Amino acid sequence: MTERRTLYPSIEPFRNGMLEVGDGHRLYWELCGNPHGKPVVFLHGGPGGGASSNHRRQFDPERYRILVFDQRGCGRSEPFASLEANTTQHLVADIERLRIEVMGCERWQVFGGSWGSTLALAYAQAHPERVTELVLRGIFLFDQFEIDWLYREGGASAVYPDGWEEFVALIPDAERGNLVEVYHRRLTSDDPAAQLAAAKAWSRWEGVTVTLLPSPETLEDFTEAHKAIAVARIENHYMRHGGWLEEGQLLRGVERIRHIPAVIVQGRHDTCTPPRAAWALHRAWPEAELEIVPDGGHLYSEPGVLDGLIRATDRFAG
């Protein structure tokens, strides 16, 4: 078996800053790697997850000029955890502004995992002439099945009944018919203690579903107060509105991007974004290469998933 690829060595940004994108929002961005390298934009998950220093390490720093940024309301962007003017369409427009005003390129590679895959597809379908390649992980199409899988009993709850029990424990039995809506009320509460308790419960449930094996470190990261508030508020906001996408929209939109070279890396045992969505995307778009990692879960850091992603970025680096 060929040795699996892993992250490139740590690097620091050679430029960073804040971009005003309107509606009171300012986005934190950073450029890493080779200032004259192939342009690529990294789209993080969540929504609301923010970017980390390891995300830039999925690209060869000698060959890529890497743009990493925090989407509206999360990470180092401002205002923190804001739901105002925070929709998929706003984020697609933000990516275009970053391409023009920060990267200054005509075309670039687009890389996105989990919610980042949703956003990458939405951006590419809106601006197919700007995309050289797509690298996608943990496909989430924002269809109702996927929302119900995570937030109604009988989906991921059947795999993690113990984690599900903790997730719903905060909610009285009589209010459990629509957990997305009832959590929204708590996450937008004027009571900071109630808001934080709901945020930690929401984010912890996601943390349970994203790893192949139990990971106390992941749960600790997901329930850290600052991260939990942004992830839970923004993610819940998007779930309530179906990601501002019509059912099946991203599959129908494949016709606009069929010509773009693409690699999809999907963990077989991903219980956050189940393989059903990646398979549906591949069937609609057979030209896109699909790699289902037999021992992979959801996170990009799973060894087999990371190997597939870095092999894809290495292949497209030229």
Q: Is 270 in the active site?
A: yes
Angle at CA 311, nearest 5°, toward 306 and 312?
Answer: 100
The full set of domains in the chain, from first to last, is: 15-142+244-316 (3.40.50.1820), 145-242 (no CATH)
**Predicted pLDDT of residue 1:** 52
Q: Is 307 in the active site?
A: no
Task: Kindly name the residue from 44, 184, 237, 298 that is annotated as catalytic.
Answer: 298
b or e along 277-311 (b: 16 or more beta carbons within 10 Å of the residue's beta carbon)? bbebbbebbeebebbbbeebbbbbbbebbbbbbbb
Q: Is 44 in the active site?
A: no
**Predicted pLDDT of residue 263:** 98
SS3 115: helix
pLDDT in single tens digits along all 318 residues of the chain: 579 999 999 999 999 999 999 999 999 999 999 999 999 999 999 999 999 999 999 999 999 999 999 999 999 999 999 999 999 999 999 999 999 999 999 999 999 999 999 999 999 999 999 999 999 999 999 999 999 999 999 999 999 999 999 999 999 999 999 999 999 999 999 999 999 999 999 999 999 999 999 999 999 999 999 999 999 999 999 999 999 999 999 999 999 999 999 999 999 999 999 999 999 999 999 999 999 999 999 999 999 999 999 999 999 998
Distance separating alpha carbons of residues 265 and 267, to the nearest angstrom:
7
Cα 213 to its chain centre, rounded Å, is 20
pTM of the model: 0.97
Cα 259 to its chain centre, rounded Å, is 23
Question: Can you read off the two tokens belonging to residue 246?
Answer: 């019509």
Task: Kindly name the residue from 114, 117, 157, 203 that is annotated as catalytic.
Answer: 114
- Nearest alpha carbon to residue 102 among 14, 230, 199: 14
- Nearest alpha carbon to residue 32 among 82, 71, 68, 84: 68
Task: Kindly name the residue from 70, 143, 270, 307 that is annotated as catalytic.
Answer: 270
